[in-house]
Every structure is written in C-alpha cells, then in structure tokens.
Structure 1
C-alpha cells in the first residue's frame, strides 16, 4: 500500500498456486500453496483500516475548516451556533454518502476520536492491526473518559498492550480495552452502569408479520444468569426435539414470562424429556456465575478491574457491589496449591480445584484464536496430551500444560488431522498459546487475563521432567510399532519444536530476544 497526496495505491498479491485452480476440488498443491490461499482469504482485507483512517482524516479536516470558518465569522447568529460545525459537516456527509443524519454524526464523532481522542488506537486501525468494528467499540468504551491526561494514558496503554498480545479478535480487543478503562477511570464505567440501571427497559420491535423481538436491558450479571437459566430449562428436552438451540431458548423465555409450561416438541410417545418443575429447579440450582477478582480489590485498596465469566472486565466498584449480594460466595485461591496440588489425589489426569480455577481465570475464554466461549463453559485441555497408559510419557497436569478449550475446538484438535497447538511461558513470565492450522498458518497470542493474574506465569513447576520433549533423530527411536496416541505425541512434539525454532530464528533476525 502506497499513500501519496493525491492517491492511495493498494496492491494485493494473489497466491500463484500451481495450475491456477479455479474451484476448491482442484486445489491439491503443496502445504505452502494451501497456506498462501488461506492467508489471502483471511487477511486480504487488511487495507480497509487504512482506507477508513484516511476517510476519518478527510472528514476531520473538513470539520476543522468549518469550525475555523464559523469562529472567525462575526455575523454568526444563534441558529448558526445551534447547527454547530459537527452538525453541518455531518449533514453534508449524510447527503454525499446517502445515510441518515444520525449515522453521519456518529461517523464524524468517530473521526474526531480517531484523530484527537484515541490517536494511538487510530494508528492501529490504519496499520491493519484492528478492524473497523473493534475501533468503533473502542470509541464507545472511551466515550465517557473526560480527563484528557487519563484518556491519553488509556490510549497509549491500550495500543501498547494490543500490539504485543497477538490474536486480536474483536472480543479480545474489547476485553483488553475494557479492563484498562475500568482500572484507570472507574468513573467512566460507573457512569455506564448508572445509565444502564436508569435505562432498564423492555422493548418490542416488529420484525415480520408473524414475528417480533423482545429486548430486555438489565445488568451484566443478571443477563448472564438469565441466559444460564434458559439453558438449564432447555437442557431437559429429549434428543429428538426438532428445534434449534436458539428456538428452544426463545420458547423457554416466553414460557417462563407467560407462566406456561415449556414442553418438548418431539411428538413421540417414548419422549424422555425432563421438564417437570422439580427437574428444572434442580438444574437451575446448580447455576454459578464466576468472577475472578484480586483480594485487594475486595478490600478496597485497589481499583484493578475484575473478570466476569461470559461478560468480560467489570469495574472494582461493580465487583464490590456484587460481592455484597447475599447469594455471593467468596473463595480465595492459594497459588501455592496450584503447584503443590496440581492434580486430584485419585487421578494424575484431572486437575485439582485450585489448578482448575487458576487456568480458567488466566485464559478467561476458550484459548483458540477467535473463540470467545466463556472459560467456565469450556473443557480443560492438556496441550501436550496426557498418556493414560504411561503418564510419564505424556503431558503433565500443570499450569504450564493446561488451557481452556470449548468442546468444539477441543474435539477439532483431538480428532482432525494436522492441527498443532502449543503453550509457552516466556522469560518475562507471560503465558502464550499457539495454534497452527493444517495449512501451516500459526497464530500466537497471550493468555487473555495475564493483566489480572500475572503471578501465574512466574510459578515454578513441580514436575521433574519437561512437559514437551525435543524431537529426536529417527535412529534414536526404539524399533517398535506405535499406538495412535504415541504417534500423535511424536508428530506434535516435532511440529512444536519446529515452530519454536522457526519463531526464534525470526526473532533473532529482528533483533528481539527469542521466547
């Protein structure tokens, strides 16, 4: 991409795959060909942030010119002041772009934010590191920060943290920025909560002649519990119920609001649904909302944000209010237990309660790039697979070898060929995960909640042997047939070692210390 005074020239290289396949069935080239196709499909739109940044710059220039013009015009009257520069520029943009005035004003406000309020995040948009949706969310999250010095710090801190964490999905960008805002300007978050509290409402929007949507606005924790209650209700239908999960939730919500029974719609005489009031009450009684918070926050000596499972960062004030609820249960996590009692006494495979909590709190969501499934609704996965037949030959149950994966991505890694994941703790105590696709594309990202639980990266593992063995020469291997699990171990250890060597070579060439 080349930017000149009179043009933006964008050149996107298209993979030159052998035989120039035109349909998917013809793609049978090398792994590098497939990687090139995947990289092109996934990242060829990165120029959009650059174009949007320059659109913002153009509108901002128009706004500054209009503002200067009105300020220097002695004949400006009350109506001119009413239709301020932003309003007038937005009106012009609305006509030219064919959008409503409200939409135009939001776009001009985003331009001002990009150039004035959060320019460092704006440059990340320009550089293609975050997309337009993530930037607009950043504008919303910082809208209530009115102290210029605090806003400048939040902007710089967020940009620095986002540039180093990797795997910048929209959910990760929102979570990281939300945590920074909640810690350094809790009043902005408090104002947002007060606005939500004051705006609690039920809204009905007609969609078609046969359907409408019901929107209920409530606090984050109440909404999270309500969704879990609906899931607990619909969990009782039999396997033959024909509805989608979304349709079941909708029917369950209407049934509870209207005071009617939620029923299975399989229509079979041998239906095994468990939807009696006692069954539903039993499942609802097991609903727990998890929050990870530092002890000093509850004691009132720190303003560090907390993490609400399924929602993201919440302010220190908010979590202290939640902790005072009569149904709140507080359990302290002893970090010594994470290493001393890593697994359950009766099973070296299953993590202890302390390690289970630490891993879920550290990752916050599914550790797979782009997945935002809440950690407490995920499985815990041994990155280097645990060998049940010979535990000493497989991955240990330890903080260095466990992360959260949703059921889908856990199964994908386990059963689909070619996927390799890895977990690394660097010299600074930062926990990183890597996922490599069958095409050879590797995405590396920090554990989402390193900002909240940095101590977990500095724990000294208690197991006697390294979790991952380096790849050995074939001549050193015993001459015997391998089980499927042993073959999988060998393949993934070799690929992980190769990935690390490649990454360290790149880091060395760039002058950065290898991890």
Structure 2
C-alpha cells in the first residue's frame, strides 16, 4: 500500500482515522498518512483519476452553499434595517456583512467584498447559472467568469433571459472549462443585450492604456491595453519577427518576444544572440515583411450580420465571440479581406481531388469555425493554430477503409494533443451529430474516463450539423480491393486503429443505451 506522509510539530498525542486516511499526532510530531488503494487494473486508475479531476465540481457545490449562507445573512440584515442609507456609504449593511465575513474567513476587505458580490450574483442576479455550480457542473473559476461576463447587464428582465439562455446552453454542452464558459457567456450577452455589448466595447475603448509596473529589483512589466484584434495582430507580428533567429539563439521564446518588442519601440535592430560566425538568422526588413505578409486573423460571422440585417455575434479566432457592431467595424478596416464561406460547396467536395487526405479550403474553414478551439476538453488553443485531425484514422493505403475527410470526421487538435492521441496507447476519440443537428466530440482517456462536449460554435454555424454526408461507412481493409491477392500480416498501426474502432463501437453502444434510458424516463407523462 502506498502512502503520502507529512511530518509537522504537534502539541499533544492523539489519533484519528477515517475513510481517506489516518492522522496520528505524537508528542512533537504530527504524522498524516493517506493510503492509496493497490493498483490492480484500469478500474482503479479510473477511480483515482475521477477523484483527482473531479475536485473542481466538489469545490463548486461547497461554494454554492457558502454563497447561499452569506446571501441569507445579507438578506436578513437588509430586512431588519428600516432605512439602508442611515449608516452612510461606509457602514451600510452590505459593508457590515462583508467586514464580518472578512474577519471569519481571515481575508482582506477587497477579497470579502468580491466574495459577497459573487454571492449576490449567484443567488440573485444569475441564479439559474449559479445552480449549475450547486449541481457540480461548474467550477468556481468558471462561474466567476460567467459573473464577469454578465456584470454590465442592468435591465433585470434582459438579465433573466440571459441567465436562462446561458444556463440552458451550459447545462447541455459538456466540457465546461473556464474558457468555454467565458466564451459562451460572452456570446449570449452579445446576442441578447447588444446595449451591454456596446457599453462594454465603449468602456474598453476608453480603457486603452499603457501601464508600467515594477516586478523585481531588475524587471518591470509593460502592459498595453488595446482592441482584441489589434493586440492579436501585434503578437503575431512579434512572433514573425522572432521566427527569424537561428536555431543556436540561447534565449527562450518569451525572452525573444520581450527583446523584440523593446527593439521595435526603441527603433533599434532586433538581432540573433548566437554569436556564431555561421549564424543563419533571417532578420532583414524584407524577410520580416515576408513573414508578416502571411499573418491572417480569422473572424467567422453570419452574412446577415455583416450586411446589418441581424445582430448575431461573430467569433474572433484566439479571442472568442465579438458583437455584431464590432465585426462590422473590423470588416471596414483597410487591411481586412472578406471571403464568403459557401457551405453549399461541401455538398460537392469535402477533400481535394488530388489528395483525399486533405480537406478543401471550404471544409477546412468550416470545421475550424465550428469548433473554435482544440477539441480536447480543457484546451483553448485557437482553431487556426491547431492541426485538423481525422477522428477515425485515415487509411493512406486503402482510403475507403479509413476515416472520411469530411466535417463529420474532422476536428482541430493542438499539436500536443494530436501527438498524444496518435502515439500514446489507450486514447480514443469520437465525433457524432445528434438528432437535433448538434455536433459532439468524446474523448476517452487510458483510464477509461469519457468526457463529452459540444462543438463550441454550434450556435454560429448550425448548418454543418444538419448536412447529410455522402460518404458511406468505412469498409474493412481489403474489401475495397478487387484483386484477390494475399495480404500482409496486420501492422502495429493497423492493430491500433482496429482497437480504436472497437472502442468507439463500444462507447457508441453505451451512449445509445444511456440516451434510450433517459428518453424512457423523461418520456410522455402518464396522465
């Protein structure tokens, strides 16, 4: 049996034991033993991983009850005071409750006020979204982002609609990372309260600034606050500049970025630090300009939004949803190129005629726009910085026996997670479209834990999930070959792909059985 042991001073001898471990305190030493179960199979690994990965949900449940408790205290204080203003702005009931909480929780005034603000938001402003935290679906950090995204909505009726829509989307989308919750809340606010979106954008414009703050005795931090698209372009330009140093440059990527920004601001040359006579750096103005010319910042929006006939939000790659007014302003920039995304073209071809493994430009853009970011839960790498992965592996030897190059079988994965899926044992992913046309992805870890989530931008491109694919089910290797020839023994890669096909089939049967049971439970009432 494995155990973690912590030794620390103690004032008396005692012993406590429980389901999570044993705690023994002797004179002068406190020993905490946390036994872990013997590892006998994948089920034990799955249980341990579920415990480790599910802690955020438990924290959210506890936090909801803490919010409910302090909100109850505030409510009683407010109802027992005839005139709230009689205490003045400093000592009103809100300030008193916050001060009491700060003393009990051992936190400062700012932390106490923030906690009380989130409690009011949880119970009073967006209660339906708050219930997701109580039900173990939202982590505290994700809920805090939802509070921030809805903080500028002032109309209570509009806020109630936003709360209902946001909780509905979040409850059904799965994979509620902080990034996905923030982007979903941003999209809902931009769609249902354009005034709040405009107010947020106006506040952002007024908040443009450059701030210098000391960090250490030698370093300080320069923060530039600008529009999302301008900052994104600035980062890409800096990346294009530092890409010209040679492989022997000793600096880290962050150090190169810092030196490049400083050089640009000071008007000096950014140089390679390899100090080698054989330096292969390409940092001339022409080389840097050529790399900058390839920078593209992608924005996906509805045609009716661009024409001004609708106010559906758009999606800025690497940032998230932006308002209709914002995307129309972006479209009017001199350096913007507007291209139509004709989804009807997917009915004609989804892959290049000369390379069945490669999607067409329309298919590529549609898939990246639909998912918005890496489809591995918890990863928010922008879609246009990801690889496009065939969920069911493409068979280069016999394409008819492999996964199709089609939106139903393609999704973006960052290079790290793409390599993990491709080369590590036990990882199985799946992609399917439900009866409502919603596109889902599933990932099963080597411990046997399956996490399912919706495509992030189903709300923006619902047509993709409603398209009928023309390709058939993949055939077994060899069946598509008309020649009756002897076959080679199965390779290791082929065996891995066969294992994944079997796991996907098993996961699909479990999912269908679960959905059938859910439909039976939530079916027509008996009266």
For the criterion TM > 0.5, the same-fold answer is: yes
Which secondary structure state, in structure 1, belongs to the residue aligned with residue 276 of structure 2? coil
User: 2 CA distance for matches of 1:213 and 1:200?
Assistant: 16
Does the 8 A contact of 1:202 with 1:214 survive in 2? yes
1:306–1:319: 8 Å Cα contact kept in structure 2?
yes
Q: Contact 2:428/2:503 (CA < 8 Å) preserved in 1? A: yes
Aligned ranges 1:346-425 → 2 under 5 Å: 346-425=354-433
Alignment partner, residue 475 of structure 1 = none
1:438 alignment partner in structure 2: 446
Shift in Å at residue 200 of structure 1? 0.7
> Which deviates more, 96-105 or 121-130?
96-105
Are the equivalent residues in 1 in contact too, given 2:149–2:186 (CA < 8 A)?
yes
Seen in structure 2, the aligned counterparts of structure 1 residues 204 and 468 have a Cα distance that, compared at 3 Å, is farther
1:110 maps onto 2:118 in alignment: yes
Cα gap change, 1:498 to 1:194, in 2 (>3 Å): same
**Structure 1 position 371, deviation (Å):** 0.8
Q: Is the 8 A contact 1:387 1:394 kept in 2?
A: yes
TM-score normalised by L of structure 1: 0.89
Could you tell me which runs of 5 or more consecutive residues in structure 1 were left unpaired when the two chains were aligned. Answer: 1-11, 16-20, 473-477
Contact 1:507–1:513 (8 Å) recurs in 2: no
Q: RCO higher in 1 or 2 (8 Å CA, sep ≥ 6)?
A: 1
DSSP 3-state at the match of 1:130: coil
Change (3 A) 1:467 1:139: farther
The farther-off stretch of 358-367 and 336-345 is 336-345
Contact 1:384-1:468 at 8 Å conserved across structures: no
User: 1:98 and 2:109 equivalent?
Assistant: no
CA contact (8 A) 1:394 1:489 kept: no
Residue 187 of structure 1 corresponds to 195
In structure 2, list runs of 5 or more residues that go unmatched.
Answer: 1-17, 22-32, 480-485, 523-527
* 1:81 shift after superposition: 5.1
Which residue in 2 is equivalent to 1:70?
A: 81
Cα distance in 1 for partners of 2:423, 2:520 equals 36
Q: 1:330 is matched with which residue: 333, 338, 345?
A: 338
Q: Output the TM-score relative to the length of structure 2.
A: 0.87
Residue 45 of structure 1 and its aligned partner are, at CA, apart by 4.3
1:39 partnered with 2:46: no
Q: Deviations over 1:13-41 (max 9, x none)?
A: 869xxxxx9899x9752111111111111
1:318: how far off? 0.8
Shift of 1:339: 2.8
Whole-angstrom CA distance in 2 between matches of 1:136 and 1:469: 49
Match of 2:150 among 142, 158, 183: 142
2:468 aligned residue (443, 456, 460): 460
Q: Which aligned pairs between 1:281-300 and structure 2 lie closer than 5 A?
A: 281-300=289-308
State the Cα distance separating 1:72 from its structure 2 match: 5.2
Aligned-partner Cα distance in 2 for 1:324–1:428? 36
Report how far residue 205 of structure 1 moved: 1.2
Which shifted more, 247-256 or 306-315? 247-256
Task: Give the conservation status (yes or no) of the 8 Å contact 1:167–1:445.
Answer: yes
Aligned Cα root-mean-square deviation (Å): 2.5
Q: How many residues align?
A: 487
